[in-house]
Chains A and B, each alone.
Chain A
Amino acid sequence: MQARLRARHRSERIFQWVGIAAIATAVAVLALLLGSIALNGASAFRTVELHLDVLLDEAAIGDLSEMSAEERAAAIRRADYGAIVRNALRARFPDVSSRSEVRQLQSLASVGARGQLRDMVLDNPDLVGRTVSVWVPADDEVEQLVKGRVPRDVPESNRRLSDAQIGWVDALERDGRVRTSLNTRFLGSGDSREPELAGIYGAMIGSFLTLLVTLALAFPLGVAAAVYLEEFAPKNRWTDLIEVNINNLAAVPSIVFGLLGLAVFLNFMHMPRSAPIVGGATLGLMTLPTVIIVSRASISAVPPSIREAARGLGASPLQVVGHHVLPLAMPGILTGTIIGMARALGETAPLLMIGMVAFIVDVPTGFTDAATALPVQIFLWADSPERGFVEKTSGAILVLLAFLVFMNAAAIGLRQKLEKRW
């Protein structure tokens, strides 16, 4: 008897330890995953800039004094800012003379520097002819070098930066002309071919617009379908069939919905390609079964006694649903919807099918503009060969994860706030 009892206690302890070990493993793997992403991605939020004294040469831009406003703007747009940047760097390193060396020197600054100078002059044409002191973005390879991600001990031929370029960067650093600052471009601008200029703002707006369409489609349709199926529909073979199909649809791989969107929205209805409205509609179809299932579960969890009480007072079926069942089911429905939306936010495959995988620089301004979404942006960057996109990829993942955590936390908070007892 005693022995049996001891054996039982022992197996209980072992079971407990197995459970703890399982949880610990899961937590450790998750921490490893998040840790590596955070380590890679944190530097995406910092950018490296070079301090240049730029002569905005009249010879390069032209004499603006005689021109009308439009002509002046056209002249400013036309000007060769590449040469201006090049001259600024050559002024710092006067002994660089060969063509290839000059090209290497010029490429220390990002091509974004040209746009920055142009915008500066457009804002204030009086700057022409003067020397201005500005911080311009560094090229992505320089950025990686300064961030310490480029090994210096590999042979020059295996590096994208030459020894001369590294020397110039070191010289600039000694002068205090290199700084690392907050990367506002990453969160504030659209995609770019240049890693140092690429941002996720366009993808964020694209995701936002897409999710708006998804929500507008999936929520009302899903709730209405759930209310009808739970409260009004007769229980017969047809509704059974519908129920089975909804459950099956919820398990259909998302890429199939992408193919459906491609066939129906683009090829049949001729809606604009790559647009949030199409992506949202496709994701809405994908989310709809989930919303229906969650809503039905919440509605059927409302105790029947509440329905009876309302019906016994003479409430019509619609009043029973509108005044009692839906308000009581709403916390569950909203929670489920937010979780469904979070899944839609992280969905990539269907968007690939309807063309939201395109390289889009402009931030979308409407539902029919070409756009991309956060997970697709991550997919695109992960595919890019430049070293600079590695940290951008991880950074974008961090932003996406932040949104997902926020949405799930909102779901939990909402449920706790709205939950009523009966």
Chain B
Amino acid sequence: MSTAPALKMPSVAPRKPETPEDEVKSVKMKAAGVNVHYGDTWAVKNVNLDVMKEDVTALIGPSGCGKSTLLRCFNRMNDTIPGCRVTGNITLDDTPIYGGNMDVVQLRARVGMVFQKPNPFPKSIYDNVAYGPRIHGLARKGAETDEIVQTSLERAGLWEEVRDRLDEPGNALSGGQQQRLCIARAIAVDPEVILMDEPCSALDPIATARVEELIYELRGRYAIAIVTHNMQQAARVSQRTAFFHLGELVEYGSTEHVFTDPSETRTRDYITGRYG
């Protein structure tokens, strides 16, 4: 499944791309020397990570390794958590997102997020999808909004299932449908990056397969970063994989490489199920 050219010698990240093919790929978001503290806890330790524009990047690792925390730094969802401090540099298209020039509202319009538990608003399916475009003023007329809603639901692969019942509450859908609705809601504001925080952990295998398919289809249009506990899932949907352990980025490279020939013992042990 991996279409990304494998790095020849992946080792501990960060690494400069070494092959000419890699230069072609553009970096969408870049984390450089990122540290996150929750009070006295050092959750993310000096992490450097690039999210590529065309790829799905999987963040894997045992619980509490800081992968979700790092993911939430990419659209500053950690801002409101009391006691949370983020240092280092994260950029979106070379613009630092923690800094005066980036408005957090603007950032989140460009970097969307899908959460672990499906969390549709207790409103109609239509209003769920239309909410983002409305608050960002993307659609002025009703017809425009209709179009955005339809396109987003189509891209999320939900249109056929809900086209006749857009007025029904979003939380009347099944869990998998709800999660796809949340993806449609994130797509509706036309983001550049979509962050997914264990999007399938609350879903059954069939719904999971459906969401994975969707992620695969969305690849290329959006830069996607996904946190997952499911290593098969990471292998299936991602082109690049980052393995975290105890807040450190242990290994980052092409998915193929990380899963078949990891450079680090810790990665190998985790992937083969020694711990985690």
Q: Which of B58-66, B105-113, B149-157 contacts A (4 or more CB under 8 A)?
A: B105-113
Contact stretch, chosen from A190-198, A269-277, A288-296, A303-311: A303-311
| Contact present for B135 and A315 (CB under 8 Å) | yes
CA–CA, A421 to B171, complex, Å?
8
Closest to B108 in A: A314
Q: Which residue of B107, B119, B132 is within 8 Å of A305 (Cβ)? A: B119
Within B143-166, the residues touching A (CB, 8 Å) are none
Report the count of interface residues on B (CB-CB < 8 A). Answer: 27
B186 is contacted by which of A303, A312, A316 (Cβ under 8 Å)?
A312
**Contact flags B154-188 to A (C-beta < 8 A → 1, else 0):** 00000000000000000100000000001001100
Contacts of B171 in A (CB 8 A): 421-422
Question: Which of A305, A313, A316, A324 has the most chain B CB atoms closer than 10 A to its own CB?
Answer: A313
Residues in B neighbouring A306, C-beta threshold 8 A: 119, 121-122
With an 8 A cutoff between CB atoms, is A328 at the interface? yes
CA A421 to CA B173, docked complex, whole Å? 13
Instruction: State A324–B170 Cα separation when bound (angstroms).
Output: 14
Residues of B within 8 A of A310 (CB): 121, 131
Taking the complex as formed, is A11 at the interface, i.e. its CB lies under 8 A from any CB of chain B?
A: no
Query: With an 8 A cutoff between CB atoms, is B80 at the interface?
Result: yes
- Residues B108 and A313 in contact, CB atoms below 8 Å apart: yes
User: Residue B135 contacts which of A235, A308, A314, A420 (CB distance < 8 angstroms)?
Assistant: A314
| Residue A19 is within 8 A (CB to CB) of chain B in the complex | no
Encode B94-112 as 1/0 by CB contact (under 8 A) with A.
0000000000111111001
Q: B9 contacts the other chain (Cβ, under 8 Å)? A: no
Asked if B122 and A421 make an inter-chain contact with CB atoms under 8 angstroms apart, the answer reads yes
- Decide yes or no whether A234 CB sits under 8 A from chain B: yes
Q: Is the pair B119, A313 in contact by a Cβ cutoff of 8 Å?
A: no
In the complex, what residue of chain A is closest to B172 when comparing beta carbons? A421
Q: Does B226 contact A (CB under 8 A)?
A: no
Assuming the A-B contacts A314-B106, A319-B135, are A309 and B82 also in contact, with contact meaning beta carbons closer than 8 angstroms in the complex?
Answer: no
Determine the residue in chain B with the shortest Cβ distance to A236. B82
Taking the nearest CB of chain A, how far is it from the CB of B194, in angstroms?
Answer: 10
Complex contact B115–A312 (CB within 8 A): yes
The minimal Cβ–Cβ distance linking B197 to chain A, given in whole angstroms, is 10
Check if A323 is an interface residue, CB within 8 A of chain B: yes
Please tell me if the beta carbons of B131 and A312 are within 8 angstroms of each other in the complex. no
Measured between beta carbons, the chain A residues less than 8 angstroms from B75 are 312
Q: Are B105 and A324 in contact (CB-based, < 8 A)?
A: no
Contact indicator B135/A311 (Cβ below 8 Å)? no
Q: Are B109 and A314 in contact (CB under 8 A)?
A: yes
Task: Tell whether, in the assembled complex, residue B121 and residue A308 are in contact, meaning their CB atoms are under 8 Å apart.
Answer: no
**A302-353 CB contacts (< 8 Å) to partner B:** 303, 305-306, 308-316, 319, 323-324, 328
Knowing A314-B132, A314-B136, the reply to whether A420 touches B122 (Cβ < 8 A) is yes
List chain B residues, Cβ under 8 A from A421: 122, 171
A227 to chain B, nearest CB (A): 15
Instruction: Report chain A residues within 8 Å CB of B237.
Output: none
- Do residues A235 and B115 form an inter-chain contact, with CB atoms below 8 A? no
Q: Is B189 at the interface (CB under 8 A from chain A)? A: yes
Cβ of B117 within 8 Å of any chain A Cβ, yes or no, is yes
Q: Which of A235, A308, A312 has the most CB of B within 10 A?
A: A312
A302 closest partner in B (C-beta): B122
Name the residue of chain B whose CB is nearest to the CB of A305: B119
CB nearest neighbor in B for A324: B121
> Given B106, B109, B122, B189, which contacts A422 in the complex, CB threshold below 8 Å?
B122
B117 touching A305, Cβ below 8 Å? yes
* Most B C-beta atoms less than 10 A away, residue of A308, A319, A420: A308
- Does chain A have a CB within 8 A of B209? no
A309 with B182: CB separation less than 8 A: yes
Complex Cα distance A311/B108, Å?
8
Please judge, given known A-B contacts A313-B132, A421-B171, A422-B171, whether A308 and B82 are in contact too, CB under 8 Å: no
| A313 & B112 in contact (Cβ 8 Å cutoff) | yes
B12, CB-defined interface residue at 8 Å: no
Given A235-B82, A314-B189: A309 and B119 within 8 A (CB)? yes
Instruction: Indicate if the CB atoms of A311 and B121 lie closer than 8 Å.
Output: no
Q: How far is the CA of A234 from the CA of B108 in the complex (A)?
A: 23
> How far apart sit A348 and B75, CA to CA, in the bound complex (Å)?
55
A389-422 interface mask toward B, CB cutoff 8 Å, 1 = contact, 0 = none?
0000000000000000000000000000000111
A235 to B84, CA, bound (A): 13
CB–CB B135/A313 < 8 A? yes
23 contacts between A and B (CB under 8 A): A235-B82, A303-B119, A305-B115, A305-B119, A306-B121, A308-B113, A308-B115, A308-B119, A309-B115, A309-B119, A309-B121, A310-B121, A311-B80, A312-B108, A312-B115, A313-B108, A313-B112, A313-B135, A313-B186, A314-B105, A314-B136, A319-B135, A421-B122
Interface residues of chain A, those whose CB is within 8 Å of chain B, are: 234-235, 303, 305-306, 308-316, 319, 323-324, 328, 420-422
Told that A306-B122, A312-B75 touch, could you supply 17 new A-B pairs with CB distance under 8 A? A235-B82, A306-B121, A308-B77, A308-B119, A309-B115, A309-B119, A312-B77, A312-B115, A313-B112, A313-B132, A313-B186, A313-B189, A314-B107, A314-B132, A315-B105, A319-B135, A420-B122
